[in-house]
Amino acid sequence: MRKRIPQHILELILIMTGLNTMKIGIIDLSTGKIGFEEFSFENIKFKNYLGGEGVVIDYLLRNMPIECDPLSPDNHLCFITGLLSATKVPFSGRFTVVCKSPLTGGWGEANSGGRFGPELRKTGFDSLIIKGKSKQLSIIVVMDNKIEIKSAEDLKGKDCVETEEALKDTYGKKCQIASIGLAGENMVLISGIVTDKGRIAARSGVGAVMGSKNLKAIVAKGNKPIYVADPSGLNELRKLVNKRINKGISPLLKPGLKASTAFAPWIRRFGIKNYGSMSPSNMIIEGYRRWGTCAGPAIAVETGDAPIKNWKGSYLDFPLKKSTKITGDNVTKYQIKNYGCHSCPMACGGIMRYSNENFTLEETHKPEYETLIMLGANLLNDDLGSIYQLNDYCNRQGLDTIASGGVLAFIIEMLEKKEIAQEQLGGLNPVWGDPTDYLAILKLITKRKGLGEVFADGFIRATEKFPTTSGVHIQNQALPAHDPRFSNSLLLSYRLDPAPGRHTPFMELMIDLAKFSQMFPELPKNKRISNFYCYHKTVSTLGLCQFSLLTGNFPVLEFVNLITGFNLSIEDLIMIGERILNLKHIFNLRAGINPLDYKLPSRALEKANHGPNKAISSKVERELIMGFLESLNWDTKTTKPNIDRLKALGIEEFS
């Protein structure tokens, strides 16, 4: 009878051979010390989380003082790739940045695409955990299993495009850069981290944390092969998925696709809210490939999904003749080439050239749906040129376009109500529908000049200084461009997600688009929602774009098993996501945060003055939230997870 190799010996062998292992770089900018943690796929820590976010959160709960000031050296800033990163699995170009958020005071998280995440993983490091504060402006260079901290004083004050170009001149065109602009350097709380000259990990104030550490950029360049248990099986499945996605649609359907915006008023009149999930997956793919997310503004405005005039207006304030100006072909006619993230068969992005009598943008990223709504419809602004200019400025300086649009609307409404005076803004007078002064306001915020110093910290500080109810946010995070009155289940991610006020953790229409309901038809709605919420956490930690789920029956499980050699089930993936969700939630509990204390602004709940959106009753809100908490086995008052459930998940030590 053959003896089984002891687990600790097997672990050592696997690490020494460098086969199926993951490695975390741990960098202390205060001391210059660089260390790492490494473990194999056979390690229980890996099996519990499949690497990615879960392993990093596990580390933070053990090693980081959760009560720290988010802008202090004690905070940890983490760059996380996923198990599928750099494997060429379709849609595997995402990475996540986490920290304690200076914006909300709790768990901070931002996600981005591009090429940085896969390149970081090819350096030999799956994730980076950065603590401390450099004495001078610095960069971190990660190349071929080696990490160095270098001075970057020459990059001070440069925007993200200038920074990326300078670093690629030094380290080669094939390296990938994640950097902050002037907003991050000045620790503006609505700043993010920029890659590919315009893909941004934008939310939760992660750029401010990077700036607080005197860290200007991270350079990644590597060529380490990524371990795959079954390479031939992975290649075959990848080809099959790409073939299905690239199939396209019948020529007979293409006129209907182009005319979809014209149908928007009829969709509104008939009260069709699930129009997205009613569309065949190949139609959705074709739409995103043709226009990207800018396909959506007009139909979202018409149906009540998009916020208008700081969440107080409707399609009557921004009618179809205006919303179509910032939608579809009217946006993409300036596109000079497609842009796709690493291993993406959809390529929903675009590189644009825009010019008018006032300015020229030789090369800039296509504005996304969120940007077009928050800097367009939310401000009653149908001037596409101004949105291009504002978007380019945000990309260069590292500003969150969702928060930028939310703060601009906040300021305009305060001026309108005479809660602040034009003189306090240095004579600037931003008004609805006229973008003349919008850019100047964002520059004040970026530089923290005048009242920009106040608004750079988001909504709460401004509300303390000027008694007002004009700010639309939750725990200082601007609400994104999807109205919970249109889709009530958004209440769950806006209020209960560990990083609140974000739409990406959960949208109910994704359940149908991902064919998730077909997997669990017998489950009650509350349990199906919480299961999908957890499943989505796993999709994110793997480094997958959520658009993979739009394609219907995307084989997440099969890809995981082919790469790891495991024999996991869909229930295992849900449980992995549940562990990750619980750890993020426990982070907040340790920070003294109960998400039930988070309240949405009344205008996001009450019946609109005009338009299709009806009020969300307190009964509906309570039923949604209580049902979600009960499904997760969280206490309905304290939200503390049930200890027996934590034991079943194998994470009871964090209770």
Chain segment 566-605, per-residue pLDDT in tens = 999 999 999 999 999 999 999 999 999 999 999 999 999 9
Structural domain count of the chain: 3
Both tokens assigned to 258: 């182009």
3-state secondary structure of 399: strand
Beta strands in 152-221, from DSSP E residues, in sequence order? 176-179, 193-195, 199-201, 215-221
Backbone conformation region of residue 47, classed left if phi is above 0, alpha if psi is from -120 to 50, else beta: alpha
pLDDT band at 523 (very low <50, low <70, confident <90, very high): confident
Give the lowest-confidence range in 216-220, 342-346, 365-369, 519-523: 519-523
Residue 66 pLDDT more than 50? yes
Query: Is residue 506 included in any domain, yes or no?
Result: yes
259 versus 551: the higher-pLDDT residue is 551
What pLDDT was estimated at residue 652?
Answer: 97
Contact 407, 457 (CB under 8 A): no
Of 437, 468, 499, the one marking the end of a domain is 468
pLDDT band at 509 (very low <50, low <70, confident <90, very high): confident
Residue 16 pLDDT more than 90? no
Contact 190, 403 (CB under 8 A): yes
Query: Is residue 481 included in any domain, yes or no?
Result: no
Residue 457 pLDDT more than 50? yes
Average pLDDT over residues 516-525: 79
Query: Is residue 547 included in any domain, yes or no?
Result: yes
Both tokens assigned to 568: 């996991």
Both tokens assigned to 547: 């658009």
Residue type for position 397:
Q
Contact 45, 55 (CB under 8 A): yes
Tell me how far apart the alpha carbons of residues 388 and 454 are, in angstroms, rounded to a whole number. 26
> Taking the complete model, does pTM exceed 0.85, yes or no?
yes
Tell me how far apart the alpha carbons of residues 407 and 368 are, in angstroms, rounded to a whole number. 18
Are residues 463 and 508 both part of a single domain? Answer: no
Are residues 313 and 405 both part of a single domain? Answer: yes
Are residues 163 and 300 both part of a single domain? Answer: no
Query: Is residue 87 included in any domain, yes or no?
Result: yes
What pLDDT was estimated at residue 467?
Answer: 87
| pLDDT > 70 in the chain, percent | 93
CATH of residue 525's domain is: 1.10.599.10
What pLDDT was estimated at residue 1?
Answer: 45
Q: For 17, what's the count of Cα atoms within 13 Å in the CB-facing half-sphere?
A: 11
Tell me how far apart the alpha carbons of residues 655 and 650 are, in angstroms, rounded to a whole number. 11
Are residues 284 and 314 both part of a single domain? Answer: yes
Mean pLDDT of the chain: 93
pLDDT digits (tens, 9 = 90+) for 463-485: 999 989 999 999 999 999 999 99
Place of tokens 């975390």: 24
CATH of residue 371's domain is: 1.10.569.10
Place of tokens 């768990």: 107
Are residues 320 and 450 both part of a single domain? Answer: yes
Residue 115 pLDDT more than 80? yes
Are residues 418 and 548 both part of a single domain? Answer: no
Are residues 464 and 539 both part of a single domain? Answer: no
Query: Is residue 378 included in any domain, yes or no?
Result: yes
What pLDDT was estimated at residue 13?
Answer: 52
Query: Is residue 233 included in any domain, yes or no?
Result: no
Are residues 95 and 204 both part of a single domain? Answer: yes
Residue type for position 606:
E
Are residues 344 and 431 both part of a single domain? Answer: yes
What pLDDT was estimated at residue 274?
Answer: 63
> β-pairing, 473-474 with 360-365?
unpaired
Are residues 132 and 177 both part of a single domain? Answer: yes
Query: Is residue 244 included in any domain, yes or no?
Result: no
Residue 343 pLDDT more than 50? yes
CATH of residue 50's domain is: 3.60.9.10
pLDDT digits (tens, 9 = 90+) for 104-114: 999 999 999 99
Contact 22, 55 (CB under 8 A): yes
Of 187, 202, 221, the one marking the end of a domain is 221
Both tokens assigned to 499: 């990083």
Q: Give the domain range for residue 198.
A: 7-221
Place of tokens 């979202």: 300
Place of tokens 């380290």: 171
Of 402, 436, 468, the one marking the end of a domain is 468
Are residues 338 and 449 both part of a single domain? Answer: yes
Edge-to-edge strand list for the sheet holding 146-151: 146-151, 138-143, 215-221, 176-179, 193-195, 199-201
Are residues 406 and 518 both part of a single domain? Answer: no
Cβ count within 10 A of residue 457:
22
Average pLDDT over residues 324-348: 96
Query: Is residue 265 included in any domain, yes or no?
Result: no
